[in-house]
Amino acid sequence: MTFFLRFSKLIRFCLFAGLIFVSLACLAGMFLVFYVAKDLPKLPSPLSRIIETPQTRVFDSNGQVLITLGERNPIPLNMVSRDFINAIIATEDHRFFDHHGVNKLRILKGLYVTLFQSGNVQGASTITQQLAKNLFFSFEKTYTRKFKELLVALQIEASNTKQEILHAYINQIHFGAGAQGVEKAARVFFGKSAFDLSLPEAALLAGLPKSPTNYNPYRHYDRALARRDIVLKRMVQTGLISDLEARQAMSAIPELYHEESDSRTGSYFVDALINELISTYGEDVVYHGGLKVFATMDKRLQSYASQSIKKGLERLDTMMGIKAENRVHPQGALVAIDTGSGAVKAMVGGKNYYKSEFNRAVKARRQPGSGFKPFVYYAAFKQLGWHPATIMTDKPVIIPVKGAADWKPKNFTKTFSGDMILKKALINSVNTIAAQLVEKIGPDAVIRIAKACGIQSPLKNVYSIALGTSTITPFEMASAYTVFATLGIRHEPFFFRRVEDALGRVIFEHIVQEKRVLEPSIAYQVVDMMKSVIDRGSGRSVRQLGFNRVAAGKTGTTDNYNDAWFTGFTPNLCTSVWIGFDRKKRLTDINKNGITGGKGAAPIWAEFMINALKSDPERDFSIPDDIRFETVDIITGCTPKEENSIAEFLTVPLKQEQFLCVKEEK
């Protein structure tokens, strides 16, 4: 009897405790709802007004609008292809007409995957929740935001019909290529109205919102088709089309609309900037957030860059005997960076954006050839204590390579000139001397300097790095050379200075930060040598073309003539130019002679820099306090003797503690 009495008391206690717990949970839930609800926005009436959210605008460095993102052409549901409506519902929310804003089964599945499948995060948003997310909140993945999103979704469902919700949703989806809303997307990708979309076209569009960048059919057509097939399979699974209709649609290859009037940005710079914004804030914020973005681009310099690349590549076609009707033409890239801040002032990634959106300035990794030698010379000066008047011998070189054949670097001239000072070796771009320098200091020493200057691409730890055999991008080249222009100060390159939200609040501001990565005196010695490259060496063609300002630079040409470069800088602007075929192929003129960086890339650089700097005051590079100048014989490295009138002399910068007539030990 006592046992049953105690057991009944325990049961009553548990019931009362459970009731109290449930009551407290309900009160806490109500408090949470009321607490969160006070910050919820007031829904517009009618719901279609949410399409009027502010657009993101991008401004250039002078405050002029570069591009507006999120432009929409809203249309009623009855003007949209039924195939598209079925495709988007099957893909995004197949129970859309059955739930009241929240799909409980999807939430449970999402929780299970997120909690129990390590590394996976499963979303559970309905179309209504996506509408709420895109229009009202920050896009941080927090539980508070998800809860607010759910409450707004319930509000939307309670006060609007399914047709009104679907109408608002399909008119604000971002499809990529600047297309916001289904009508804009249909016009951009297929040159037709949303009403006229076929099933294959509708399914392709319905697959884009998952990742407009990765599935952009202008850039990744195969990916877009694969995603389209997934959409068609979902339509079969949900009973919206038959298996036969799906197979027929999968066999169709929709033709994209390629007129220049479409909504692609038309700019390699803007594409790079948008990619940077998306990597920071996500596509939803960039295209739905009503941001104001203040870019670093100078429209005047950008125009000069585009003209220079276009004219330079047309001149190259003539030089090579390539006719306009030929399918394959050489391409080019140009990047210009402000040396004092790292601001990217201009960027061109190809001859014609609408024929090829591939941005060679930031994505094409190519061998820089002799353009890599400044890093070699700096590393040698730093590690060995040498200087521009140190003597080395241009001679046949055989460098043993462990586990491989001996390396036998050759000069472009196929000849050897004997003893010379290092300044003369860089002016003439002597390969054998650069190879001997790397043999003495090791490839890793060169790699450390290049990485410190901003080269991020993988660099092979091999002796041939002396001749630029590892691949890098024009963007990296321009950024790294700015460190020489500033005598060792590194500024991280950037595309935008400030970002404001829709209410004008600053959510990002770039603070220019300096980092010293090179010794100023040694950097100046390399810069002085690079000045002579332009004045009397492999880059002298820029002088012949009329560029007369103080500047330093270096040509680059690969052994097989696949790549030609010129990268140079004044104290305030650094520009890198690359030319070559996308699929590696020799650059040769009509006489089958190889085209070097001095002949192919330097003229583009010169034309751009003449225009870009014509309104800027001229100035020289600053000279460190511990630098002195000496005139030396290029063969002996010593002060010239009066009776030796036939010798060639060069003026070299030396640190105060450095001595002349220093020859490398045999």
Q: Which residues are known catalytic residues?
A: 92, 370
Residues 6+ apart with CB under 8 A from 171: 48, 51, 72, 74, 75, 181, 182, 183
- Alpha-carbon span 550 to 568, nearest angstrom: 11
Strands (DSSP E) along 116-258, which ranges? 174-176, 179-180
Contact present, 608 and 305 (Cβ < 8 Å):
yes
Is the CA virtual torsion 27, 28, 33, 36 positive or negative?
Answer: positive
Q: In whole angstroms, how far apart are CA 442 and each of 79, 388, 436, 463?
A: 68, 19, 10, 7
Stated as kind and residue range, the H or E segment containing 481 is helix 474-485
Is the CA virtual torsion 411, 413, 417, 422 positive or negative?
Answer: negative
Contact present, 594 and 641 (Cβ < 8 Å):
no
DSSP string, 125-140: --HHHHHHHHHHS---
Residues 6+ apart with CB under 8 A from 615: none
- Alpha-carbon span 112 to 107, nearest angstrom: 9
The number of CA neighbours under 13 Å toward the Cβ of 478 is 29
Contact present, 396 and 408 (Cβ < 8 Å):
yes
Contact present, 36 and 152 (Cβ < 8 Å):
no
Nearest one of 440, 454, 429, 427 to 381, comparing CA atoms: 440
Stated as kind and residue range, the H or E segment containing 57 is strand 56-59
Q: Is 28 helix (H, G, I), strand (E, B) or coil?
A: helix
- Alpha-carbon span 555 to 598, nearest angstrom: 6
- Helix and strand numbers, DSSP H then E, in the chain: 23, 18
- Alpha-carbon span 39 to 126, nearest angstrom: 22
- Alpha-carbon span 243 to 224, nearest angstrom: 20
Q: Nearest 10 degrees: CA dihedral of 326, 328, 329, 333?
A: 150
355: which 2 tokens? 């024929």
Residues 6+ apart with CB under 8 A from 416: 394, 395, 396, 432
Break the chain down into helix, strand, coil percent, rounded to 5.
45, 15, 40
- Alpha-carbon span 594 to 578, nearest angstrom: 15
Q: In whole angstroms, how far apart are CA 76 and each of 54, 178, 194, 380, 631?
A: 21, 21, 10, 70, 80
- Furthest CA-CA distance within the chain: 130
Q: In whole angstroms, how far apart are CA 476 and each of 137, 572, 578?
A: 37, 17, 12
Tell me, what amino acid is at 386? W
